[in-house]
Structure 1
Amino acid sequence: MPKVLILGARAPVALDHARRFAHQGWTVCVGDSISCRLSGWSQAVTTSIKLASPRFDPAQFITDLRQAIDRHAIDLVIPTCEEVFFLSRYRSALPSSCRVAVSDFEILRQLHSKWEFQSLARTAGGQPPASTLVSSLAQAREWAAGKPLVLKPEFSRFGVHVRIYPQGMPSQAAELPPMGRWVAQEYCAGIELCSYSIADQGRLLAHAVYRPAYRLHTSASYYFDQQVGQQAPSAIQTFVATLVQQLQFTGQISFDWIAADGQHPRVLECNPRAISGVHLFAMQDALPAAFTGSADQCVVPSNSRARMIAPVMRSAGLLQALRRGQFAGWCSDAARADDVLRIGSDAMPILGALVDMTSFTTTALRRGCTLREAATSDIEWDGEELAWA
């Protein structure tokens, strides 16, 4: 029986991967550097492995990972979060007998940079909005010349620190904080879409598109409305297939899109890691084969049901709908979506998520940081030089 080690076990996408691999006959181990009961308490997981922080102690992270691969005879390692950058950078220190689903570090760096990605996107036909690098609000204001724009740090995640000015930049806008280079980008109105894909050596082997229908403020989505048929423009899959072929990409790769008319999407940015599109695939869909490069065609979700993080949809989502007078729509949306935390009798991940959240909250209070920082700061990578571990 083949064995897989799924990293970033704090994330719902890791739980989803774990269940699918177990369903298809794999022995599943998960690993993380902080609380990860969300995945670790699932019936699909046989072992949870404690790792050092890849950001704060990369040498020990790689040592822990190498020892785990040897001890548990791991055949495949799959990152899900930003540990992918550290895993790629130090890949040569891991056993060559183990397959690691990552691309070359320089490729990941270019994709993660919201500035350098623009040229890659244009080459592959993604039609990204006009953009420029800025280091101050004055430079951004001069470049925009009163037109609508978006400002975002070159390296960021979950929409954090992003500023959206659909009516143009107001005179009282605050100065940009010192976070390295910023990207000023033409604002485009339209329908937000996200795509999630898996590639192996330049071959697109899995692909899904969804609309992030409900969000926590302007950040992460918790409702994933799958787009099929005419709702999922073929241009998106064509772009992804072209780009991964050009880069000879291996691993998971995700993109944010805007479609003004629903049919002509423009790519905004890239996340070279897993995102919530993982949830759209059924347990029998051949994502494990896509990761091993053995899929004989591009895998797409076998059903069109929406997915949601039910506890959030039934709390924050409900309150949001009530404030907006959209209760009927919320009821309809909730009824046509399946939960990603509890599937059948595998209910312990819900309790695990509560334990993890308590741990993150305690860390945030102790450090005086935000909940998001407590949950992700140990794996984030913002373009800094990574010395050999």
Structure 2
Amino acid sequence: MPNVLILSGRAPVALDHARRFAQQGWTPYIGDSISCRLSSWSRAVAGKVTLASPRADPAAYVAGLRQAIMRLGIDLVVPTCEEVFYLSRYRAALPASCRLVVDDFDKLRLLHSKWDFQALAQSCGGNPPPSAVVQTLDEARDWVRAMGGVSGEAGAVLKPEFSRFGVHVRLYPQGIPDDAPPLAAQGRWVVQHHRAGTELCSYSIADGGRLLAHAVYRPAYRLRRSSSYYFDHHSSPAIRAFVSRLVSHIGFTGQISFDWIDGGGDTPSVIECNPRAISGLHLFDFADAVPAALTGEATDCATPTATRARMIAPLMLSAGLVHAASSGALSQWRADWRRADDVLMRGGDVLPCIGGLADIGSYARLAMQRGHTLREATSRDIEWDGEELAAI
């Protein structure tokens, strides 16, 4: 029976990976540098590996990972979050006998950059919005003013070049107001024309440029403008064609995700890329050939065989219900609740939901100890913001 180590067990997608691998004959282990009872308490998981923070101590992280691979006889390592950058950068220090689902570091950097990705997206027919690099809000205003004189568009989106979860994104559909706060010191910022339309997300797996798994969803409910907790199936041949072209063009291997705006035309606009897992993974059934895609052994591109939407039920019952009640959309909320399946409690595996609540308590304590927000406490130890990663 082959062994798989799934990293960043704090993420619901790690739990999803573990359950699917277990059902398809693998022995899953979970690895993380902070509390990850959400995944490690699942009956599908054989054990947990505690690792150092790759951001704070990459040498200790790699050493611990190497020891775990050798001790547990790991055949496959699957990252789920931004530890993918550290895994890629230090691949040579890990056992060559183990398959790591990562691509070259420079390729991941290109995809992660909100600016460098734009040219690649344009060359592959992704119809990205016009964009520019700016250092100040005045530069952004000047660019929007100049471009608006040509296109008639005044709306703008501002984001740091390396950012995540939409936390620092600024949306100005009517143009940048006079009282907008200055840009924070977070490296280069990217300004884009604001595109109106339906938000979509795609999740894919590729091996050597072959598209082996693909799903698209509409993030119907969000935590403010950040992470979604309701995932509605969506079909878009144009998005699939773009992803297939892009992964083939760069010979990509690994998990890759994109954010989109569908304005109703022939070609949706790709906004940015995340070379890692996202919640589109939840749309696949446990029998779908996602493990075969990750090992590179699949011969066809898997798409979800399920038709029901997916949700993180505790968030749908709390944040989703509060929002629906305050906006007069309770009937829509009830209909959406009935047509979705929870991604945490599935098949009688209930402990992950309890473990997730325990994790939140751990993250809250960590946030207080370090003076971070709760969101920062859940991801700061694995984030990569474009800085140089030294050799170890």
Q: Normalised by the shorter chain, which TM-score bucket?
A: over 0.9
Where do 1:170-209 residues align within 5 Å?
A: 170-209=177-216
- Give the residue type in structure 1 aligned to 2:176: M
CA distance in 1, matches of 2:266, 2:283: 21
- Give the residue type in structure 2 aligned to 1:8: S
Q: Which runs of 4+ in 1 moved over 4 A?
A: none
Aligned to 2:352: 349
User: Which of 231, 250, 253 in structure 1 is aligned with 2:253?
Assistant: 250
CA distance in 2, matches of 1:42, 1:262: 43
- Give the residue type in structure 2 aligned to 1:261: G
Structure 1 residue 262: deviation in Å?
Answer: 6.5
CA distance in 1, matches of 2:124, 2:237: 14
- Give the residue type in structure 2 aligned to 1:296: T
CA distance in 1, matches of 2:177, 2:276: 34
2:164 alignment partner, SS class:
coil
Structure 1 residue 264: deviation in Å?
Answer: 2.5
CA distance in 1, matches of 2:307, 2:59: 43
In the superposition, the TM-score normalised over structure 1's length comes to 0.98
- Give the residue type in structure 2 aligned to 1:47: G
CA distance in 2, matches of 1:99, 1:132: 38
Structure 1 residue 344: deviation in Å?
Answer: 1.7
- Aligned pair 1:331/2:346, yes or no? no
Structure 1 residue 160: deviation in Å?
Answer: 1.1
Contact 1:191 1:262 in 2 (8 A): no
CA distance in 1, matches of 2:39, 2:265: 35
Q: Structure 1: state its 5+ residue gaps.
A: none
Contact 1:190 1:260 in 2 (8 A): yes
- Aligned pair 1:68/2:68, yes or no? yes
Where do 1:13-32 residues align within 5 Å?
A: 13-32=13-32
User: Which of 240, 244, 257 in structure 2 is aligned with 1:241?
Assistant: 244
Contact 2:127 2:267 in 1 (8 A): no
- 1:299-326 deviation line (CA, Å, top 9, x unaligned): 0000111000000001110000011100
User: Which of 259, 262, 284 in structure 1 is aligned with 2:262?
Assistant: 259
1:5 alignment partner, SS class:
strand
Aligned to 2:12: 12
Aligned to 1:296: 299
Where do 1:13-162 residues align within 5 Å?
A: 13-145=13-145, 147-162=154-169
- Give the residue type in structure 2 aligned to 1:153: P
Contact 1:54 1:86 in 2 (8 A): yes
CA distance in 2, matches of 1:378, 1:14: 17
CA distance in 1, matches of 2:87, 2:308: 33
CA distance in 2, matches of 1:383, 1:136: 19
Q: Sequence identity of aligned pairs in percent?
A: 63
In the superposition, the TM-score normalised over structure 2's length comes to 0.97
2:347 alignment partner, SS class:
coil
2:261 alignment partner, SS class:
strand
Structure 1 residue 18: deviation in Å?
Answer: 0.2
- 1:346-388 deviation line (CA, Å, top 9, x unaligned): 0000010011100000111112210011110000000000001
1:351 alignment partner, SS class:
helix
CA distance in 1, matches of 2:376, 2:14: 19
Aligned to 1:305: 308
CA distance in 2, matches of 1:345, 1:284: 17
- Aligned pair 1:376/2:361, yes or no? no
User: Which of 269, 277, 282 in structure 1 is aligned with 2:285?
Assistant: 282
CA distance in 1, matches of 2:371, 2:283: 36
- Aligned pair 1:167/2:170, yes or no? no
Aligned positions, number: 385
1:143 alignment partner, SS class:
helix
- 1:242-278 deviation line (CA, Å, top 9, x unaligned): 1111111110000000001165211000000000001
- Give the residue type in structure 2 aligned to 1:80: T
CA distance in 2, matches of 1:355, 1:70: 30
1:380 alignment partner, SS class:
coil
Structure 1 residue 127: deviation in Å?
Answer: 0.8
- Give the residue type in structure 2 aligned to 1:150: V
2:46 alignment partner, SS class:
strand
CA distance in 2, matches of 1:235, 1:63: 43
CA distance in 2, matches of 1:373, 1:102: 24
Aligned to 2:151: none
Contact 2:6 2:18 in 1 (8 A): yes
